[in-house]
Amino acid sequence: MRRALMVVALLAAPALAAEVAGVKVDDRARVDASELVLNGAGLRTKYFLNVYVAGLYLVEKKVTPADILALPGAKRITMRLMRDVSAKQLTDALELGIRDNTSSAERETLSSRLSELTAIMNALQSAKKGDLIALDWIPGSGTRIVLNGEPRGKVIAGEDFYRALLRIWLGDEPAQESLKKALLGQGA
């Protein structure tokens, strides 16, 4: 009986936010009317420098890229910047990630929407240390770019485009293998 009460108490306790490299990552996010849960969070490094802490939010936890890409409903990937970055650095990294994880035919299909993403990022000009960039999938609408809680630019159509964005971190050639594992909830 005592053990059962402990289990119930643990299940009833609010989930604590994750912390990665000293950055707190919320355990839940809201994308329009959808309540999402943190699937995993991890650190993106480059040349031994901390670049950002990423978090992946889904309607329910999943552990494989295929399950995440096939999961219906809203999704969010966040990047809490740990250093200042220019719009060119952001777009170059996103374009490289898409190029590494899509076929040439897919890239051709995505090219006009990738140009839309580039225009939105260029309008930001730069992002500062501490800024939070979110890439949201809104079912029936598209991909929304959010900077520090404020939507930027227009919504970009097509779930295929959002899946291509997710493959930057979850594809066969991810931005960083340890970050991929962390976003899948497998630790860094």
Q: What is the pLDDT of residues 82-117, one digit of tens each?
A: 999 999 999 999 999 999 999 999 999 999 999 999
**Cβ-based neighbours of 152, under 8 Å, separated by 6 or more:** 120, 123, 124, 145, 146
The parent domain of residue 30 ranges over: 17-183
Across 4-16, average pLDDT: 41
> How confident is the model at residue 71, as a pLDDT?
97
pLDDT tens readout for residues 111-163 = 999 999 999 999 988 899 999 999 999 999 999 999 999 999 999 999 999 99
Enter the pTM of the model.
Answer: 0.89
Record the tokens describing residue 102, joined without a space.
Answer: 């899509």
Q: What is the DSSP code (8-state) at residue 176?
A: -
Quote the percentage of the chain above a pLDDT of 90: 86
In a domain, 127, yes or no: yes
In a domain, 75, yes or no: yes
> How confident is the model at residue 8, as a pLDDT?
37
pLDDT-derived band of residue 16, with 50, 70 and 90 as boundaries?
A: low
- 188/178 Cα distance (integer angstroms): 5
For the domain that residue 53 is a member of, what is the CATH number?
Answer: 3.50.70.10
Coil vs helix vs strand at 135: strand
Q: How many domains does one find in the chain?
A: 1
